[in-house]
Structure 1
């Protein structure tokens, strides 16, 4: 087995923690023999503090962070392109782990001092509207819950 294949296999065997609920994280930490409060800490780091890596989780000991890096990962979407319009609207093109591309849009509303996010729920589109570039791609697949959550997390981290 070559080095690249071995690396890919070890990467895919890691548990992806982004996208997991607190209950699912608790199940995962239980499987590692960790106390229940560790799931809450990790959950807070991922969803409240937007941690990109276990190294940022400073209230977890170094030994635990090393262990987590061996068996788990926080999967991040790769930002392929970002377009910012004059009104502040941000259009993100993300690359998924399988190489497919999706778009997300963050719209700023000056009159309401608020933001709205438009997220992709599928790769491509089956409708095929002639005015929409995504429609020309055709439908590829639905996104899983983790890929949808990762869009929010990726936008928030920016």
Structure 2
């Protein structure tokens, strides 16, 4: 298990988030994932946290990183993208790692298509932040600093 003096947070991003800045800017904004990473790393340093920032379009890779976090991190900030609405496997992985996970969404899924109103992640997340764009990651980081 992670040593108590190590305060490391995994910031995990799911499918299509590598296209931020160009993909539907009216929904997701103009910030790129690199912009969000820089924002998160700056605020993490101010909070005395270190972050591991990752993105994958592959569900199995996200699960592997969640499993690794069990041994190396004190919490997880997770934007699962479209897997939010489809992945029982991510639900199981989050439940299995027994770490606080904060679910983050740039947009408000409840203001979008009905299929986005259901989250498989929310029932096993410590909390959910949605609809605040990149600020949601910072709000989640502020919460993670309390773990």
Q: TM-score band, normalised by the shorter chain?
A: under 0.3
Larger radius of gyration between Structure 1 and Structure 2: 1
Higher RCO by CA contacts (8 Å cutoff, separation 6 or greater)? 2
